[in-house]
Amino acid sequence: MTNGGREPGWTLRRRLQAIITLALLPVVLVSIFQGVARAQLDMANVHERLLQSARTVAAGDQNLLAAAEQVLRAVGSLSEVRGMNGNCDGVLADTLIGVRYFSNLSRIDADGRVACSAMALAHGLSVKEYAVFKEAQKSDGMVVSNELINRVTGQPVIGGMLALRKPDGSFDGTAPSRWMCIGSTI
């Protein structure tokens, strides 16, 4: 025996530590993998809950858009509004009374000029440069804009336009509306 009566190599204590470490290594690895898998599952659950919450919140706005489209279709089918004659302004003003989420209703001709409107100050304004008008010319459904500043009221609004078509299918203008925008909702 050398080194003061000790055998060369690992001591009993070091051998026991190595054996215990090797025995516990699979348990540690499984725990790490389970922790990572659990974290991924939690992230997926949080993501799914956020999507569900967003859908729930958007349902009200979606219902509002559907209602707005129905109002525009109904108003756009009236002969005074479609023909931009007679009591077109009065019809739009009367419709505006019953729909509190609109700040204005107008009839725009094919050239992008406001022909009649619930608000007299809007007459003659041009919207032909607005992206929403250009999109409405190509669409058969309702087109919705980003937030705009209403040139008559100065209020932030979100515009919607529904293309009106002549019997031959050509573009005849739009039945647009403006919604008052409160915060980030319509």
Residue 62 sits in a domain whose CATH number is 3.30.450.20
In this predicted structure, the answer to whether residue 19 has a pLDDT above a threshold of 50 is: yes
Residue 29 has pLDDT above 90, yes or no: yes
Mean pLDDT (whole number) for 26-42: 92
For the chain, the domain total comes to 1
For 102, counting Cβ atoms within 10 Å of its Cβ (0-12 exposed, 13-18 middle, 19+ buried), the class is buried
- Nearest of 101, 109, 98, 114 to residue 151 by alpha carbon: 114
Integer Cα distance of 12 and 15 in angstroms: 5
Helix, strand, or coil here: 156? strand
- In the prediction, which pLDDT does 6 show? 61
Q: Is the pLDDT of residue 182 over 70?
A: no
- How far is it, in rounded angstroms, from Cα 19 to Cα 7? 19
Q: Which domain holds residue 25?
A: 1-186
Tell me what the mean pLDDT of segment 153-174 comes to.
84
Distance CA 144, CA 154 (A): 19
CB contact set of 123 (below 8 Å; sequence gap of 6+): 114, 115, 116, 117
Residue 158, number of CB atoms within 10 A of its CB = 21
